[in-house]
A and B are shown apart, each in its own frame.
Chain A
Amino acid sequence: MTTATPAQIQSDASPRVARRILVAEDSPTTHEILKLLLSQRGHQVDIATDGEQALEALRRNRYDVALLDFHLPKMDGLQVASTIRHEAVDRLVPKMIAITLDAEGLLAHPEGCHNFDHVLPKPLDIYQVAQVVEEQAEIADMEAADSTPQAAPNISVVAPRPRSPFEDLGYNFLTWPGDIEDGQLSARAMQASLGDPRFDGILIKAPISLEELGAIWRTKALYMLPIVDLTGSLGAFADIDASKLTARDTTFLDKTLSEYHDRRTHLHRDLRFSTDLGEQLVGRMFISGRALKPSYDPHSKWLVSYNVALGAALAAREAEALCERGLLRREFFDRFHVCPRCDSLRLHVREECRQCHSSHLEEEQYLHHFRCAYQGPEREFRRGDRLVCPKCRYELTHFGFDYDRPGSMVVCDACGHAASEPAVGFVCLDCGGHVDSEVAPPRDVYIYHLTEQGIGFAEHGHSLLGTATHALRFADLPLELVVALNAAAKGYNETQRPFTLISIYYRNEKEIIAQQGARAFTKVRDLFIENLRTSLTDDADLIVKGHSQDFVLIAGSDPDETKADFDLLVVSAENSLRYDIGAVFQVFGPGDFA
């Protein structure tokens, strides 16, 4: 089987092998920047500007990877890919990557899934492009090295195990065992770890431990996939317990998987590829649309399990840290007592002797004989069914007049100690130690909900939190801007001509979307940008719209001078808007790009 360890997948940024790559892209800006980027990393790049050129190049040369824009003149990317696959019966086909604005549309296309090995959504993330291209090439190498050449032209891997009916429902599942096993990943799994949106979930076909499932957190992007449990043994860890589903419950399965799918596309890239467990947890909660909820679980040392594939202690620790950051909020679930020795919550609660902690207790009522003041346990008075005072030998016959029962004591059969009431103590089921109830510290277990801020973080990534405000991330920049920035930087290096980059972020974005809808916000944002554009006098100035931020590049001006002027521009541009968009801007100069 084609496998690779996660370590191999997380290869460093520098490529080990030079690849031959075809870029079929009609926009000159885009293919220029792609060529620049890939050739800088040592690859050989050919350009095709329409579908026929691309097909021709693919027939003539042997490429490792082909980047095909879905919308090409003359012949679209999908046609190119399917033609090549049909022609190449036993020939090796390059890894084909689709570039498209409409990833959803491509996936919906009946041919879409089979013909491409990966989909890169536009706008392109230039770092992701390089990474995807290089990893696809590695996957191709591994497949070639495999002793049995793949007959199938697509990316499916033959599973040696019996297929589940769920695998034939037309979903694209990773399977365990099969794709993710023993810390090793199949080519498909690696594919999914690149954030390929075509995968629907992870199908668990055999009982799996939580430790083994841990692989999904250690491998980028896999954690986003819903876990479909065929075994029924995962319980709350799984997103869908398919053991109780029949093949006919497809509407439910369909609905759930597509919901996950939808939310996955809304998850910000920062979280999608995050390696931070806390951030992954936020992403997971966002995608599943469920609170992080504990349920009682006698198998866990914590007595609860959360509805994610993580140990309860780890999940709670991460969730607490996220609460500190304001991304989650707590809701009380239950209070437990903890073994101070081994941190287990599996405590056996019992009434026990105050002296020796034995639970071998008997309750004894005592009688008071009024006449002679004898007061002792009932057994001392018992003579068959009669009650006879052991002190004065009178028979007690009249309750309330001869005698009464003023109380009882609890006598320990182990040590003979007696008390008016027993103590409550715990025995730890894990370490076997004894704990007094006063000594065992309580521990509260919570349900965690995503806060507004948490949802915002899931949708907008670090920019929302301001964690990245001072470091400009090239990954966030649109390609068009990168090209222009490159030119400006070149100009600065050669002629010392300064430039200023301004990034604008909208503080009230979420509020406006929540109250007025996303369309209204887009309109306001467009109008704001338009206002800004008209007030900028110099034609050399460039305004580029980004994902969650917009950018202005002003050539030939010093950042410090620009700042004050720009403030006025923003105020006047905001003036005529219907809603207060809350534009916040940051200014960067050549010094920030050194």
Chain B
Amino acid sequence: MLQPIADGITYLMAQSGESLLRLFWFVAIFEFPRYTLSFLSVAAILFYPKGRQQPFLGRVTILIAGHNEEAKIERCVLALREQSRRPDEIIVVSDGSADRMPEKLRDLQDAGLITEGHSTQVRSGKSAALNLALFRATGDIVIVVDCDCTFDRHALRDILEPFADPRVGAVAGNIVVRNAHRNLITAFQAIEYLISISQGKQASDLTDQVSCISGAFGAFRRNALQGVGGYDAGGGEDLDVTLSLRKAGWKTVFAPDALCYTDVPEKLSVLIRQRFRWERDAVHLRYRKHSELLNPFSPRFRLRELLHELDFLVFNLGSAVFFPIYIVWLFATFGDLGLIILLGAQAGMLVLDAVAFALAALVTPRIDAARLLPYVPGYSFFNGFLMRFVRLGAYLEEWIFEASYRDTYVPQKVHRARR
């Protein structure tokens, strides 16, 4: 039984460099370059650490939009008030909540914990709710947070720091998984967040490629946000508004020290539904709504936007689309040996992931990565196979069925008007 594996290893060992590349072309094209970029960026981060800047002196408004968040809103507000840099204003909008959230907001307001609480009677969607809050905001900077997030004590101070640069229009916070040790699924996501956000966005930041200010924790210059009309209708509003801000010429950056903790899905089914939503929104926004960023003849075409567009095109879309093709090719060409080659590719991926994990842990020392280490091999498989197929499913669904127009995260009345 072990004979084929031994044969396979013998076969792989016998290959020359060129023929190896021919066998592992998928990894070479879709995986290796990205990891290489990461290694370079980590080196850059380590060799050129950012100096501390002056604390931000302007007025800061927190915007929170929630739907049926009665249970979570108070903890979130209390966590914000525990910040070393206190927010000057907190505006909460209950978006058509059917629970007791409106009463809760009134109590919080009477207790002086929030500045204003508004409650709509019917659901308008997150974008509209944030727009209402934005309309009431008076701060120079508005920080959008999610109800189910909690924050590091200095998160606000750190996310405000980059605004010392007047070109900066928006700053993304660092999202960390709070329930990492709940089960395998959450542990894998914790590793994924660590690599793709905590380290990945630092890399993007070096090259001015931060293309999504996460809706969980992001800060905006208020006149910049209002300048692009606030949030637009539809899902993926965080990516949407970031692309709009970049088109308007604002710099978007990442604040790795501004830690925001959030719970990720604990069930695979929930996770898959979440990723379907994210990926189809991304496809919709990049290739429908903001498609001119890819069109060299559009007046809005910019070279700096091309990089993150290509990044997404190659490493997300391309890798998802070509992976099944690669597998089919492998088995068609090598027969039984294909499985061995695939395992070999996975072994190589595991090494790359382990190195990526180590580097991510290195550049984000405030996250306790050691406890996640045992999950790295599982993560490599989970991310390399399962999530790749999930992404592919989402892209196909969006491409063929325009599923983002039926998303229940956005009220039906909005979908209808959006077409």
Q: Which residues of A contact B (CB under 8 A)?
A: 354, 366, 368, 370-377, 391-392, 400-402, 404, 406-407, 409, 417-421, 423, 438
Contacts and interface: CB of A to CB of B under 8 A. Distances in A.
Interface string B106-132: 100110000111111111110111011
Contact of B118 (A373, A419, A438): A419
B106 A400 contact: no
Contact of A373 (B102, B123, B131, B416): B131
A401 B129 contact: no
A400 B122 CA distance: 11
Nearest to B411: A370
23 contacts: A354-B110, A368-B128, A370-B233, A370-B416, A372-B233, A373-B128, A373-B131, A373-B230, A373-B233, A375-B120, A375-B124, A375-B131, A376-B132, A401-B417, A404-B413, A406-B96, A406-B122, A407-B118, A407-B120, A407-B121, A407-B122, A409-B118, A418-B118
Contact of A392 (B123, B135, B229): B229
A391 B232 CA distance: 10
Contact of A376 (B110, B125, B135): B135
A420 B119 CA distance: 6
B120 A419 contact: no
Given A354-B109, A373-B233, A420-B119, 5 more contacts: A373-B125, A373-B128, A373-B234, A391-B230, A423-B110
Nearest to B96: A406
A375 B119 contact: no
B414 interface: yes
A418 B109 contact: no
A354 B233 CA distance: 32
Contacts of B234: 373
Contacts of B136: 418
A438 B107 CA distance: 12
Interface string B210-238: 00000000000000000001111110010
Contacts of B115: 417
Contact of B233 (A371, A406, A418): A371
B224 to A, nearest CB: 15
Residue from A370, A376, A423 with most neighbouring chain B CB atoms (10 Å): A370
B52 interface: no
Contacts of A374: 128, 131, 229-230
A370 B118 contact: no
Contact of B116 (A373, A400, A418, A438): A418
Contacts of B106: 419-421
Contacts of A372: 229, 232-233
B50 interface: no
A373 B109 CA distance: 26
Residue from A371, A406, A420 with most neighbouring chain B CB atoms (10 Å): A406
B418 interface: yes
Nearest to B136: A418
B231 to A, nearest CB: 5
Nearest to A392: B229
B105 interface: yes
A368 B411 CA distance: 12
Contacts of B96: 406
Residue from A375, A377, A392, A417 with most neighbouring chain B CB atoms (10 Å): A375
Considering the complex of A and B, which 6 residue pairs feature the smallest CB-CB distances, nearest first?
A: A370-B417, A406-B120, A373-B127, A373-B233, A407-B120, A375-B128
Nearest to B129: A375
Contacts of B118: 407, 409, 418-420
Nearest to B109: A354
Contacts of A420: 102, 105-106, 117-119
A406 B229 CA distance: 20
Residue from B105, B109, B234 with most neighbouring chain A CB atoms (10 Å): B109
B116 A404 contact: no
A404 B122 contact: yes
Contacts of A438: 110
A220 to B, nearest CB: 55
Contacts of A417: 115-116
B63 to A, nearest CB: 12
B229 A370 contact: no
Contacts of B129: 375
Contacts of B231: 373
Given A375-B129, A376-B135, A406 B417 contact: no
Interface string B222-259: 00000001111110010000000000000000000000
Contact of B413 (A370, A391, A392): A370
A419 B106 CA distance: 8
Interface string B78-111: 0000000000000000001000001001100110
Nearest to A400: B413
Contacts of B131: 373-376
Contacts of A391: 229-230
Contacts of A406: 96, 120-124, 128
A391 B110 CA distance: 33
A580 B110 CA distance: 66
B67 to A, nearest CB: 12
Nearest to B102: A420
A438 B110 CA distance: 10
A376 B109 CA distance: 21
B281 to A, nearest CB: 14
Contact of A371 (B116, B117, B230, B417): B417
Contacts of B123: 406
A370 B110 contact: no
A409 B232 CA distance: 22
Contacts of A371: 233, 414, 417-418
Nearest to B226: A391
Contacts of A401: 413, 416-417
Contacts of B120: 366, 368, 375, 406-407
Contacts of B135: 375-377
A444 B134 CA distance: 46
A372 B241 CA distance: 12
Nearest to A403: B417
A419 B118 CA distance: 6
Nearest to A370: B417
Nearest to A354: B109
B238 to A, nearest CB: 13
B26 to A, nearest CB: 40
Nearest to A377: B135
A437 to B, nearest CB: 10
Given A370-B233, A370-B416, A375 B132 contact: yes
Contacts of A366: 120, 132
A421 B136 CA distance: 15
B414 A373 contact: yes
Contacts of A400: 413
Nearest to B91: A418
A354 B106 CA distance: 10
Contacts of B413: 370, 400-401, 404
Contacts of B122: 404, 406-407
Contacts of B124: 368, 373, 375, 406
A370 B116 contact: no
A373 B110 CA distance: 29
A391 B413 CA distance: 19
A404 B233 CA distance: 14
Contacts of B109: 354, 419
Nearest to B417: A370
A370 to B, nearest CB: 3
A483 to B, nearest CB: 78
Given A372-B232, A373-B231, A373-B233, A419 B416 contact: no
A354 B105 CA distance: 12
A402 B413 CA distance: 8
Contacts of A370: 233, 411, 413-414, 416-418
A401 B417 CA distance: 7
A402 B230 CA distance: 18
Contacts of A368: 120, 124, 128
A373 B232 contact: yes
A366 B135 CA distance: 11
